[in-house]
Structure 1
Amino acid sequence: MKALVETIAKALVDHPNEVRVNAVDKERTLVFELSVHPDDMGKIIGKQGRIAKALRTVVIAASVETDKRVTVEIV
């Protein structure tokens, strides 16, 4: 799942070497913290948050098999 977030993010940005994904495992939630180069923040978020929402939707769809709730946070 972490590789999925990283692959999608690297395809969207101009500085793919700056993409970092940190997985934080909480009690019933798995949070992926995505950090990118400051110049690429707009590309990850998209107009009115559309790309960020699509990224979250893909991750949620991929996590159906797990018992945990999965979210993506952009830091």
Structure 2
Amino acid sequence: MQMPVNYEKLIKDLVTPLVVHPEDLMVKMFSEDEAMLTLQVFVHADDLGRVIGKNGRIANAIRTIAYASASRESKKITINIDSF
């Protein structure tokens, strides 16, 4: 039996090395049910481009890792990235 994944920690661990202002990084889970998760990632405005990447490549890589983890639990996950 597999241990459940802490998606907030997973995303935080993936994004922290990318940002200049890690103290401003926040990951919030907005909804969770048996089949669907929604996470909101907030970063400092200066770090938004670093986390999204050119043509969204970094954001897509983060989402792919999260999707792979969620699929092991038969869940779907949505990750939104924003600045504040």
Fold shared, TM-score > 0.5 on shorter chain: yes
CA RMSD of aligned residues (A): 1.2
Give the 5 Å matches for 1:44-55. 44-55=51-62
Q: Which runs of 5+ in 1 are unaligned?
A: none
Sequence identity (%): 35
Residues 11-44 of structure 1: CA deviation (Å, up to 9, x unaligned): 1000011000000115542011000000000000
Q: Number of residues paired by the alignment?
A: 75
Bigger Cα Rg: 2
Instruction: Give the structure-2-normalised TM-score.
Output: 0.82
User: Are 1:14 and 2:20 matched, yes or no?
Assistant: yes
1:6 partner amino acid: K
Q: Which runs of 5+ in 2 are unaligned?
A: 1-6
Give the match for residue 66 of structure 1. Answer: 73
